[in-house]
Amino acid sequence: MEITVKSGTPEKQRTACIVVGVFDSRKLSAAAGEVDKASEGYISNIVRRGDMDGEKGQSLLLHNVPGILADRVLLIGLGKERDMSDRVFRQLNASAAQILDRSGASEAVSYLTDLNVKNRTSAWKCYAAALDSESALYKFNTHKSNPETSRKPLKKIVFNVPSRRDLLDGEAAVLKARAVVGGMNLTRNLGNLAPNVCTPGYLARQAQQLKRQYKKLKIEVLEEADMKRLGMNALLSVSEGSKQPAKLICMEYNGAPKTEKPVVLVGKGVTFDSGGISIKPSANMDEMKFDMCGAASVFGVIRACADMQLDCNVIGIVPTVENMPSGTATRPGDIVTSMSGTTIEILNTDAEGRLILCDALTYAAKYDPDTVIDIATLTGACI
In a 13 Å sphere around the CA of 113, the CA atoms on its Cβ side amount to: 35
| Per-residue confidence (pLDDT) for residue 6, from 0 to 100 | 96
| Per-residue confidence (pLDDT) for residue 152, from 0 to 100 | 82
Burial class of 6 by CB neighbour count within 10 A (0 to 12, 13 to 18, 19+): middle
Express as a percent the part of the chain with pLDDT over 90. 94
End-to-end CA distance of the chain: 31
The mean pLDDT value for 343-357 works out to 96
Distance (Å, whole) CA 315 – CA 301 = 10
- pLDDT of 260 > 70? The answer is yes
Express as a percent the part of the chain with pLDDT over 70. 98
Residues of the chain with CATH 3.40.630.10: 193-375
Bridge partners (DSSP) listed for residue 3: 157
Q: How many Cβ atoms are within 10 Å of 185's Cβ, its own excluded? A: 16
Q: Using the 8-state DSSP alphabet, how is residue 159 labeled?
A: E
| Per-residue confidence (pLDDT) for residue 382, from 0 to 100 | 56
Residues 269-321 have pLDDT tens digits of 999 999 999 999 999 999 999 999 999 999 999 999 999 999 999 999 999 99
The better pLDDT of the pair 143, 381 is held by 143
Name the fold adopted by 2-180: Leucine Aminopeptidase, subunit E; domain 1 (3.40.220)
Residues 314-343 have pLDDT tens digits of 999 999 999 999 999 999 999 999 999 999
pLDDT band at residue 64 using 50, 70 and 90 as cut-offs: very high
List active site positions.
280, 354
Give the CA radius of gyration of the chain. 25
> Which SS3 state, helix, strand or coil, does residue 59 take?
strand
Cβ(356)–Cβ(285) under 8 Å? no
Q: How many Cβ atoms are within 10 Å of 318's Cβ, its own excluded? A: 31
For the domain covering 193-375, report its CATH number: 3.40.630.10
- Which amino acid, residue 103? S
Phi, psi of 69 (to 5 degrees): -75, -25
Q: What is the mean pLDDT of the chain?
A: 96
